[in-house]
Structure 1
């Protein structure tokens, strides 16, 4: 007689084996499916995020470049501000030097100054002569320095005025900021005056010869 327990046992063994294999296959299938899903998610996420990452990286590089440029510009601005401060400090001194020894001959400016001095001293300055031929400063003039940039031209005038006005006129010329060298001064009594153009007998005839100096750079021609 066949034992029923052994029949049941022999029947369950293949079923158990089948279920076990199916379970393992399902686990494998789930693993494969999950792996594929993760791969696809990573793949699409990478290509979706890559432009953003590239943009962020580019922006970071641009920010660093602009920071470096800003630092350089700030340094240049600071240097410019310092230069402006230094120029402001010497500007007044430069104007004084330019007024004393201008970079050009400035004939018209000189004439205005001399006419102003004659007007203040009541000297009727009707005419004067300017020798436009310039000359270099020679060693006889400087005695220690010879510089071809230092130029001069001659101005002379002759007229009549009372003695006090003449001395006041000469005094104003000597106080003028413009570098003026008085070469010669002569005074004559008014006894041989022109009969056609008589002047006050108390007036004195004066003759004044001066050298006017200016600084000419090698590239400047006047």
Structure 2
């Protein structure tokens, strides 16, 4: 999304066919709100506000995804959970790379002595938008930390699960090694095996097994 603003001219450019500003256009057509009565800087702010709302909607969906992953970790250990953690972490980093420049743009617009674009009356709204973006940025940092914790927790659970498997295999192996040894010894076809002629030899070997 790009903007060109000069005097009373505001032009927007976007790569996708989906119009993000349908709500603004409808308000202008219906004469609702302050847009038609205000100068071009307020329209510019309104468009930025829509973008900010869109980011907040995306963050809300991410919040739901983070909660879902948290529930999955508490219930069972799946490879899908690990994939979900990595996918969401990648999406959060991508959103952060978009929001950070957006925040810098708002900071520059608030410095009226540098830009001479926004009126003081519009700067009040712009400050509110800036606060929302800062909040969104903080939420992103929180989600990143949570996902890193989820990843560490997943690795711990996976390690514990592997330890339990190894422990079980060790117990099974310790049981069958003596049996295998005894079976191997008496499975050899030696003619001279005195214990085979012993009266209770069979029962002794059987009890050992």
TM-score (normalizing by structure 2): 0.31
More strand by share: 1
Structure with higher helix content: 2
Larger radius of gyration: 1
